[in-house]
Copies of this chain bind each other. A is one copy, B any other.
Amino acid sequence: MGKIHFNKVTILGVGLLGASLALALRKKKLCGEIVGYGRKENNLKKAKRLKIIDSYNLDAKKACSDSDLIVFCVPVGKFLVTVGKIKDSLKKGALVTDVGSVKGRLVREMESLMPGGVNFVGSHPIAGSNKNGIGAANAELFSGAQCIVTPTKKTDAKALKKITVLWKSLGARIVNLNADEHDRVYAAVSHLPHIIAYALVNAVADINNSYIKFAGQGFKDSTRIASSSPEIWRDISLMNRNNILKFIKVFNKNLDRLGRHIKKSNSIALEKEFKKARTLREDVR
């Protein structure tokens, strides 16, 4: 594996992922200076105080000036407007990547907005989920985690190599996926489960607000991801809506089938569906 070093890194959006990335880069000595950018000055001040970043700027353009690596860690719905703010100040040779949970069309849009000499490579580290904010930031967040990288036909080969080495240096296992395939995969195994978790919590509240205190470990595990950032998941849901809506239908079909078996007291058919699910689930390591 090659070595990499970035003199100046800009983290756009210093939340759980951005802050963890900053801590990891520093721990592995992969960078010089780290500048943070975000909307909330209090958060950036705290990040600086905690030595997560060296300095911050509320002006994205200034935050990115002269940076060698720029990482988009803002909600995916803010990517394009943020690119608009910074693209004229990116130096030639700068590398741009992200940690967003949606790829697909967004990757193509990001690529098309890069100025000449600046390369974008889409990344999606599978880490963090329901935890929020810099208080939960941790340099080992990516260690042992999968990181999906989504090169396209237009992706610069050297840039791709650098980004791959970057994530590997932070301990992640790289998987290359087509950007659109990524969005189908993660609509199924991540986005759909999050939406279901949100719906389940709200359903239990509708049924009876006082029942939630009887919840055991099963309910807690099933709904842990309903603690995820509403803002981040709003953006993910809307940006990957076609896949998500399609897969909600597949889920509904399966839930309706179980409901029909229950309604007809068809114990054999019901047990068969449950067995199928258990076998599939046991394969997940």
Contact = CB atoms under 8 A, between A and B. Distances in A.
Contacts of A25: none
A200 B204 CA distance: 18
Interface stretch (A35-43, A79-87, A104-112, A236-244): A236-244
A50 interface: no
Contact of A278 (B230, B270, B274): B230
Question: How many identical subunits does the complex contain?
Answer: 2
A113 B265 CA distance: 24
A271 interface: yes
Interface string A171-200: 000010000000011101110111111111
Nearest to A234: B271
Given A188-B204, A271-B231, A258 B198 contact: yes
B245 A263 contact: yes
B189 A193 contact: no
Interface in A193-214: 193-208, 211-214
A250 interface: yes
A109 to B, nearest CB: 17
Interface in A212-236: 212-231, 233-235
Given A199-B258, A202-B254, A241-B263, 12 more contacts: A146-B214, A189-B204, A189-B216, A198-B274, A199-B255, A201-B281, A215-B284, A221-B225, A223-B281, A229-B278, A235-B267, A238-B267
Interface of A: 77, 126-127, 129-130, 146, 148, 175, 184-186, 188-190, 192-208, 211-231, 233-235, 237-238, 241, 244-245, 247-248, 250-255, 257-259, 262-263, 265, 267, 270-271, 273-278, 280-284
